[in-house]
Amino acid sequence: MLGFAVAFQLLRLTSNTVSSIVFGKKFDSLTARQKYDWGIRVVSQVHAIVVVIMSIPIFFNKVLLEDTLYGFDHYPACVYTIVCGVSDAKHIGVGFVVHAVASFGVYILSFRPALQYYGSSFIMFEASTIFLNINWWLDKLGMTGSRLQFYNASILLFLYLTVRLIFGTYMSYQMFEDLKANGTQTPTPLYYFYRVSNSSIMLLSYYWFYLMINAVRKRFTPAAAAKAKKSQ
């Protein structure tokens, strides 16, 4: 986990140099804060692509399917180590800190072992993060409102709705039903930690979806875009 944490920090530190070479003046003209956020997005993008791809086999892991609550296998443990290795609390806001703390707590506790099978379901949330990052980069590269951004935003909203909200809500229900029926080895405080963490993550997901809908409307609805300009 420490190794991945160091690797991700090195990626963030070197990403700006590479981005300057690739995007030239468009990147160099960004503010210091935007360049910092750019580096965080690079780490987020690499992390999201890697863990989403690596999490798919966990759904079919025979060891975890036999015991969805307390089964343990080294492959998902490796994937969750990558997830726990990502951290950056600077400039990301209270909501993201809550999300990060809740996620870290759940995934580090998977080594107890606990809920290794269900962990893969919530990693799939990161599929929408890939397109969220692309949307942000298009804004910074002067492509706000472009056809490419429209297509990307459409995929983003579809994935967010299906993977995070619909699938995420369903798997949350399944997990707690499983805990109620078979969770005799789960201490009561730990059960409520899972409850609070899951509820926090899902409520934030619904709230962020509302914000995303508003952001898309401002970019692609002419009336909303004109109103936004007048208010500036």
Mean pLDDT, residues 112-118 taken together: 95
- Structural domain includes residue 229: no
Mean pLDDT, residues 163-192 taken together: 96
Give residue 88's pLDDT: 54
pTM assigned to the model = 0.87
- Structural domain total, the chain: 1
State both tokens at 140.
């910074």
Query: Residue 106, SS3?
Result: helix
- Domain assignment of residue 204, given as a range: 2-222
C-alpha span between 21 and 1 (Å, rounded): 31
- Structural domain includes residue 57: yes
| One-letter identity of residue 45 | Q
- Structural domain includes residue 230: no
Residue 155, Cβ density class (10 Å: 0-12 exposed, 13-18 middle, ≥19 buried): middle
- In the block, which residue shows the tokens 């990147």? 27
The CA–CA distances, whole Å, from 78 to 1, 2, 174, 216 equal 9, 13, 24, 36
- Structural domain includes residue 192: yes
The least confident of 69-78, 97-106, 168-177, 187-196 is 97-106
- Structural domain includes residue 44: yes
The angle, 0 to 180 degrees and rounded to 10, between the axes of the packed helices 94-109 and 188-220 is: 140
- Structural domain includes residue 71: yes
- Structural domain includes residue 54: yes
Mean pLDDT, residues 18-44 taken together: 93
- Structural domain includes residue 120: yes
